[in-house]
Structure 1
Amino acid sequence: MKYSYFFVLVIFLLAVSCKNSGRKEKLVIATAANMQFAMDEVTEAFSRQSGIETEIILGSSGTLTAQIMAGAPYDIFLSANLQYPEHLYKQGLGYRPPETYAYGQLVLWTCKEGIEPSLETLRQEQVSHIAIPNPQVAPYGRAAKEVLMQKGLYNEVASKLVYGESISQTNQFIRTGAAEIGFTALSVVLSEQVRGTGSWLKLPQSTYSSIAQGVLILDKDTQQLNNAIKFHNFLKSEKARQILEKYGYLKADE
């Protein structure tokens, strides 16, 4: 009886093991928050074409980088700049060198009636809070700070700045009115979820450094390596480009 019980137990464990091994694992994509709405559409198109399921993990580029360095099980990283992916690659955490897949654009956005989205508005008394992604971890925040510095506004409005840890949190500040105005990505205000909410101004690209959106396939030992490569290739496809352009992203070769 003892051996019979042991035999049944082994068969049960093998069955469970086979069942689990046959279960599809999702391709986990660490994604900078500026890409939130565009990525929903990109991954949906990718899954329809490939049959590969995906999971999006959102955060600021700096926070996601720290998580990856700490061992987070992500398969591919879409950053709001190229510096973070390059740093990870130099640490031996990338399958091959990162690439720029698109360029982002910066806007001023307000959801408050009577407030005009302009740089001059930032000086006005009616504006007491200006939302900005944290420049230390969010490339769009770094770009926003560059605009303020270039226009000689930074010291004047520094006390009004309210920092979001990502563009997602910054958007919450703007949409809820916690900040009268703020900086965000063009892709946000062009999304179906936000379009028509408040008013916005696209800032001249000459006022900030290019926001190169970088992509890095992570550690070559990942079980999802082949799927990550397929997604990387899909990002460069005409279908993905059309989606990204709809959200205001510029082609990497422009």
Structure 2
Amino acid sequence: MIIRENNVKVEEFSDEFMIKPEKREYLPSELIFFDLEHYVYKKPKCIGVFGACEFNERLNEILVTQYMIEDRDEVADILYLARNYFIKMKKLGKKAIVTFSGNNDFTVINYLFKQYGIEYDFNKEFDSIDIQKEYEKNKTTSIGLKNLEKLFDIIREGEVISGSNLAKTFHKVLKDKSYFKRMPEEKIEKILLYNEQDVVNLYHIYVKWKKYIYDDNEIDDIDELEEIDELEDEIDELDNFNYENKSIINH
């Protein structure tokens, strides 16, 4: 099992730009940003990489925690590590989990918890904020995480890896006990970096939300304000023109 923790420095954030779901407001320090890389074939087979991060307000940095299985014998181990992580975060005062299209991840982890007899109820322990659903509340269309990152001017480190390629990798890890040992170190690092970027970028999107996302009513209001500004500019120009002409005539 690969167990990795990494500290990522971040800029100071402003409360005015954060996501504020209806009747629910959380500071970044109260949140867990969460993402899984998993393998599903007809039903969930395993979690390949567990990734989560938390914001440390005192140090102004994100602590990323990752677990990655190395063979099929660790399929249950990663589940226990995941549960223990959430138990620890609850004790530290975390109140909600932030995901992107998190229903998929929760479906997988809950299925595997049940399969391996691990008792844990996310609904009882944490509130849930799905950034994709928050986007859909403001817009009439849906969006993928990578396109949302572009909208937020986020430059992703490392390569984007497709879900199907990740699934193929973890299928081989389950099937061949020595496959992971033969994997190039570069490939392992790419997978871990990809997952790390997913959770870190969820934090950036959360704290900068209102800087980039407006709902349709706000856009209409902005358009109206711009039209009023343009009209006022035209009136000012007309007043200046009349004043100049009057001056010429009087002269």
Sort the TM-score into its range (normalised by shorter chain): under 0.3
TM-score scaled by structure 2? 0.24
Q: Which has the higher helix share?
A: 2
TM-score scaled by structure 1? 0.23
Structure number with larger C-alpha Rg: 2
